[in-house]
Amino acid sequence: MTKSEVFISYAWDGDESEQIAHRIYQLLQLNNYNAVKDNKDLHYKGNIQDFEARIGRGSYIITIISDKYLKSEHCMNEMICIKNHEDVYDRIFPVVLKNADIYTRSGRLGYLKHWNNEIQTFKKELSKLGITGGAEHSMKDLTRLEHIKLIIGSITDLLSQMLTLTPEKHQQTNFSGLLGALEKQAAKDALENQRLGNNQNDGEPVETDEHISLLSGEDQKVDEKQALLRILHVSDLNFTCPGN
């Protein structure tokens, strides 16, 4: 009998992260979980943003945290999606690599500085272009970077407070601690779902992802000059999740 769907979120680094992701994927399959991993489930011409949003909605996400992960826009987009669906602590199961500098204040601050520098560099490049077509799309890119900057501190702080074990200890025990925590959380969720029964919605309308706009307001129409001004002076950050 197939168990719950479990996502694996990691950075493509051609080395440790991918090796660990592959091993965890194998173990999940051996334990009858429906394992979901990008290079297995996202095929040619697949929509990356939709896949990131799908991860964000997942009940169980194994996150392989590396320095590259915390500096990757795609990985941070996944974290935005995860964070927007709440209960982050219960839903993520991190494996933290040694190069992820999250256990000191200066290390965590370094990731905030990284994203701030990305924003400032992008703004400078936009300023050089002047008023050109396509500014509205650039505005979305900048809003996304601003939102990553807003959540990076809370994400690294949360990860630093969790006892996650080293990759070496995980591998020595064949990831038994991770699998045990996953099993425990799945059992807890099953009991809670059983308790709620058919009264989860109680007749109240449910807000769907489609109701959430990437930008404040709906179908905003601005000319190129207004768009450029907004790019260089972003004031609203209602960006949620790339695939929504």
Query: pLDDT at residue 176 above 80?
Result: yes
Structure confidence at residue 242 (pLDDT): 62
Structure confidence at residue 228 (pLDDT): 47
Q: What is the DSSP letter of 130?
A: -
Q: Which amino acid is at 37?
A: K
E strands within 89-176?
Answer: 92-96
Q: Determine contact, residues 37/8, Cβ cutoff 8 Å.
A: yes
Residue 54: CB atoms within 10 Å: 18
What are phi and psi for residue 95, nearest 5 degrees? -120, 115
Task: Return the half-sphere exposure (C-beta side, CA atoms, 13 A cut-off) of residue 181.
Answer: 18
Average pLDDT over residues 200-214: 47
Band (pLDDT 50/70/90 cuts) for residue 134 is low
Of residues 214 and 40, more confidently modeled: 40
- Lowest-confidence region among 32-46, 163-177, 207-221: 207-221
Q: Tokens 């992260």 appear where?
A: 17
pTM of the model: 0.79
Q: Tokens 């095929």 appear where?
A: 43
Of residues 241 and 128, more confidently modeled: 128
Average pLDDT over residues 33-57: 93
Q: How far apart are CA 184 and CA 164, in angstroms?
A: 16
> What is the CATH architecture assignment of 5-197+217-232?
3-Layer(aba) Sandwich (3.40)
Task: Return the half-sphere exposure (C-beta side, CA atoms, 13 A cut-off) of residue 179.
Answer: 19
Q: Token pair for residue 211?
A: 């109701």
Domain ranges of the chain: 5-197+217-232
Query: pLDDT at residue 13 above 80?
Result: no
Pair type for strands 5-9 and 92-96: unpaired
By CB atoms closer than 10 A (0-12, 13-18, 19+), residue 4 is middle
Q: What is the pLDDT of residues 67-110, one digit of tens each?
A: 999 999 999 999 999 999 989 999 999 999 999 999 999 999 99
Structure confidence at residue 200 (pLDDT): 53
Query: pLDDT at residue 204 above 60?
Result: no
Band (pLDDT 50/70/90 cuts) for residue 211 is very low
Q: Token pair for residue 124?
A: 């400078």
